[in-house]
Amino acid sequence: MPVPLPTPDEVDLVPPTAEEVAATSRAIATAVAVDGELSAVQRLLLEALYVSMTGHPAAVEGDAIDARGLGELLRRRNAAFRGRILQVMLLGALVLNPLPEEVIQRVDECARELGVDDGMLEVARSYAHGNAALAAFDFERNGYTAEWDTQGNEALHTAESLPEAWAQAVDDPELAARWKALEELPKGTMGRGITDFYRARGFTYPGLPGSAPPLLAQHDWVHVLADYGTTVESELEVFAFIARANDDPRGFSLLAMVVSLFETGALATGAGLFEADPGHLAKSGMAVRVADAMRRGALCAGSNDFMSVDWFAIADQPIEKLRGHFCVPPKSADAVAAGAVGPWDAGGISPYQLGAGQELAAREGREYDSFGASVE
> Does 263 share its domain with 161?
yes
In 3D space, the residue among 200, 305, 196 whose CA is nearest the CA of residue 253 turns out to be 305
- The H or E element that residue 365 is part of is none
> Does 74 share its domain with 156?
no
Q: Is 60 exceeded by the pLDDT of residue 151?
A: no
Binned at pLDDT 50, 70 and 90, residue 150 comes out as: low
* pLDDT mean over 300-326: 97
pTM listed for this prediction? 0.97
In 3D space, the residue among 207, 209, 206, 187 whose CA is nearest the CA of residue 198 turns out to be 206
> Does 193 share its domain with 244?
yes
Domain that holds residue 51: 18-118
* pLDDT mean over 12-32: 98
Burial of 212 (0-12, 13-18, 19+ CB in 10 A): buried
* pLDDT mean over 262-290: 97
> Does 186 share its domain with 324?
yes
3-state secondary structure of 318: strand
Evaluate whether residue 374 is within a structural domain. no
> Does 63 share its domain with 188?
no
First to last CA, the chain: 54
Q: Is 90 exceeded by the pLDDT of residue 9?
A: yes
Domain boundary among 73, 95, 118: 118
Tens of pLDDT, residue by residue over 113-144, are 999 999 999 999 999 999 999 999 999 999 99
Binned at pLDDT 50, 70 and 90, residue 148 comes out as: confident
Evaluate whether residue 80 is within a structural domain. yes
> Does 203 share its domain with 348?
yes
190-211 residues labelled b (16+ CB within 10 A) or e (exposed): bbbbbbbbbbbbbbbbbbbeeb
In the chain, the number of structural domains is 2
> Does 166 share its domain with 265?
yes
Evaluate whether residue 180 is within a structural domain. yes
Average pLDDT, the chain: 97
Question: In Å, how far are 125, 246, 298 from 302, measured between CA atoms?
Answer: 32, 8, 9
What pLDDT score was predicted for residue 376?
A: 84
Q: Is 60 exceeded by the pLDDT of residue 276?
A: yes
Tens of pLDDT, residue by residue over 168-207, are 999 999 999 999 999 999 999 999 999 999 999 999 999 9
Evaluate whether residue 133 is within a structural domain. no
Residue 64 dihedral angles phi and psi, to the nearest 5°: -65, 145
* pLDDT mean over 12-18: 98
Evaluate whether residue 317 is within a structural domain. yes
Binned at pLDDT 50, 70 and 90, residue 163 comes out as: confident
Binned at pLDDT 50, 70 and 90, residue 152 comes out as: low
> Does 76 share its domain with 175?
no
Evaluate whether residue 296 is within a structural domain. yes
> Does 156 share its domain with 85?
no
